[in-house]
Chain A
Amino acid sequence: MQNRLIAALTSRSGLGAMLLFAAAAVTFSEVSRLRLGTPASMGPGYFPALLGGLFVLFGVMLLAEGWRNPGQRVNFGRLRPVIYLLGAIILFGMLYPVLGGGIAIAVLVTVSAMAEPGRSWQEIALLVVTVIVMIWVIFVLALGLQLTMLPPWIRT
């Protein structure tokens, strides 16, 4: 019984239910500081409160699904691409304001390319150069966007 409960909670549906309960918790904590109002004159909290209720409803339904099929486990797949890709974006966000587009894009391309193992440095270098030129042509030359490619402290 207890084992089945744990299995149900950690099954794919069970974890899905947890996600929905978390969403409900966030919703209700925000709703608690908003005015609810009445149906005829709804406050900002009324509609989100209904959504929070639906999260709970669907969460319970998923929990029941997990109870019925506790064997469906979450398959995490390969974590390497996830870490490299998301890491590459974080790095870009941090580097771009400081070092400008050129270097930030080079880092973005290099780190994301490393998500797939077994590349030579020549291949990565070629990719970096091609992508930087492509971005410069499309965004700066053709569309005229304010994209600082060089580090901002270098004045030309």
Chain B
Amino acid sequence: MIDNLLLGFQVALSWDTLMFCFIGVSIGMFIGVLPGVGPLAAISLLLPLTYYIAATDALIMLAGIYYGAQYGGSVASILLRLPGTASSAVVCMDGYEMTKNGRAGAALFLSAVASFVGGSIGILLMAGFAPALAAFALRFGSQEYFLLMALGLIAASTLSEGSATRGLAMVVLGVLLGIVGLDTTSGTMRFVYGQFELMDGISLVASAMGLFGLSEILSNIGRSERTRPMHKVTLRSMIPTRTEMRDSWPAIWRGSAIGSFFGALPGTGSTIASFFSYATEKKVARNRARIGQGIVEGVAGPEAANNAAAQTAFIPTLTLGVPGDAVMALLLGAMIVHGVNPGPQMLTNTPEMFWGLVASFWLGNLILLVFNIPMIGLWVSMLRISYRLLYPAILVLVVIGTYSIRYSVFDIYQLLAFGFLGYILRLLDFPAAPLVLGLVLGPLMEENFRRSLMLSDGDFTTFLTRPISAVLFACIVLVLLAQVVAPLLRLWRGKTHDVRNDTHQ
């Protein structure tokens, strides 16, 4: 492993790569700080730009946006009680209380340290477990891949918030959109309707930008103006007291463990990890009696958790080729565009890429920690940028970015169609993230499904009779059963509570 890490640092420390890592984490930090622009939109926005650079650099930059945003997200949460990203929403509670108590500086410092520790632990786990997992995955056949993707999609769409039926329906819609175009096995066009631009499928960039970029702008317009009280944060005020330090450490370790676990599971990810960590601190923190009134554990724990999760989320994506959430699906899509086949072979075929990513993640975390603290003032001043001025520029970037992939006006209309679809889905309360997951995995799923049944000569029990696939199948059944049982349990237990608290809005 030492050899591998050395190889990784060799890649990651080369001048160009380091620069892309720096650009990535800076953009991530920036959009993380800004409320209303999330990592999904930013990554889809930059996806077309990475078509012109080397695959490793592209992934390093896009990944940097993702984990950089986890760092930045806490800044707005702490200073303004506005979550910069969903995964730092929970930091609003104690973070903003610390600001009101005049400890904004310490909260920012501790959240940066917690993020760094959490991220580093996540990276170590990734370096430790990924090779073993990949070696195991080499034994997978088509049956296992099909079930693994099905499990990932089902878990991602049912475990996250909202109704499971809606999530699953969006997965199916995504898979269907994913197989639009030329069916390579039979040479038949499907769902093309004479539009030759659709031959090589729906554009991932146009769909992601339409569903996330455009819908984000649509839902944020008009809500941008509000008075923003600004607290001056000096470097001196950032030094935490000895008690604050002492109380933070256990929370950081707990948060890192929780985050690493939830990040690696499909469908949970950094938002759930940070909420879970906060719930844990509520029960076990030394100052638990005062939680919600500005205790350091309520900041340090969730921040460590969401950063650890942001790193371990790469484990299934890189070793199995099965992304756990929409951000990972976009990164997977970017890899496929660059001709890299994510999966267990990646570690053996292109070790410099995998280990380069691991090393650059750690360097990126270090950059975020070191640059963050002196630059807090800059990030704070960036919170003053009005969304009113920002969104027309973002819209132009979205449109030009989509067009620039293959200089096609047709792609702009694809973007438009997906923007409109995103709006309709939001009206009807359908989540868009499972759709993108399905879109990326759709063609791979069909291919593996076909091959499995071809190998078994049409016998569907092939998904049950192989030992690994039987376990995967059991997992799928469990996840689906949990969906049926959980509401029944709630109904049975909740006679006293109002069960219909799921009426949204």
Residue of B nearest to A47 (CB): B446
* A34 and B458 in contact, given A72-B503, A86-B419, A147-B400 (Cβ under 8 angstroms): no
A78 within 8 A of partner (CB): yes
Q: Which of B173, B218, B395, B423 has the most CB of A within 10 A?
A: B395
Q: Mark A74-103, 1 if CB is under 8 A from B, else 0.
A: 111110011001101110110011000100
Q: Mark B439-456, 1 if CB is under 8 A from A, else 0.
A: 000000010011001101
B415 CB-CB contact with A under 8 Å = yes
Specify the chain B residue showing the minimal Cβ separation from A109.
B392
A64 closest partner in B (C-beta):
B165
Contacts of B375 in A (CB 8 A): none
In terms of DSSP, what is the predominant structure of the interface of chain B? helix
Complex CA gap A92/B395 in Å reads: 11
Shortest C-beta distance, A30 to chain B (Å), equals 5
Chain B residues whose CB sits within 8 angstroms of the CB of A93 once the complex forms: 409, 412-413, 416
Say whether B165 contacts A61, CB under 8 Å.
Answer: yes
Tell me if B100 counts as interface (CB < 8 A to partner A). no
- Indicate which residue in A74, A135, A145 contacts B396 across the interface (CB closer than 8 Å): A135
Chain A residue nearest in CB terms to B401: A139
The interface residues of chain B lying within 8 Å CB-to-CB of A34 are 188, 190
Could you say which of A35, A69, A86, A127 contacts B393, with CB atoms under 8 Å apart?
Answer: A127
Knowing A16-B430, A48-B179 touch, does A39 contact B400 (C-beta < 8 A)?
A: no
- Residues B176 and A27 in contact, CB atoms below 8 Å apart: yes
- Which A residues are CB-close (under 8 A) to B165? 58, 61-62, 65
Asked if residues B428 and A131 are in contact (CB atoms below 8 Å), the reply is: no
A15 to B168, CA, bound (A): 16
| B173 cross-chain contacts in A, Cβ below 8 A | 23, 55
Cross-chain contact B430 with A30 (CB below 8 angstroms): no
Q: Which residues of B contact A48 (CB under 8 A)?
A: 176, 179, 190-191
Contact of A113 among B172, B183, B222, B392 (CB under 8 A): B392
Those of B388-428 within 8 Å (CB) of chain A: 388-389, 391-393, 395-397, 399-400, 403-404, 407, 409, 412-413, 415-416, 419-420, 423-424, 427-428
Query: Nearest chain A CB to B23's CB is how many angstroms away?
Result: 12
A21 CB, min distance to chain B CBs, angstroms = 11
Can you identify 28 A-B contacts, CB atoms within 8 angstroms?
A: A16-B166, A16-B428, A30-B191, A35-B186, A39-B458, A40-B456, A43-B186, A44-B190, A54-B172, A58-B165, A58-B172, A78-B222, A81-B222, A86-B419, A86-B420, A88-B395, A89-B416, A89-B419, A93-B413, A108-B395, A108-B396, A112-B392, A112-B395, A127-B392, A131-B392, A139-B400, A139-B404, A143-B52
Chain A residues near B (Cβ < 8 Å) = 12, 15-16, 19-20, 23, 26-27, 30, 34-35, 38-44, 46-48, 51, 54-55, 58-59, 61-62, 65, 69, 72, 74-78, 81-82, 85-86, 88-90, 92-93, 96-97, 101, 105, 108-109, 112-113, 115-116, 119, 127, 130-131, 134-135, 139, 143, 145-147
B residues contacting A by CB (< 8 A) are: 49, 52, 163, 165-166, 168-169, 172-173, 175-176, 179, 183, 185-186, 188, 190-191, 214, 217-218, 221-222, 388-389, 391-393, 395-397, 399-400, 403-404, 407, 409, 412-413, 415-416, 419-420, 423-424, 427-430, 446, 449-450, 453-454, 456-460, 500, 503-505
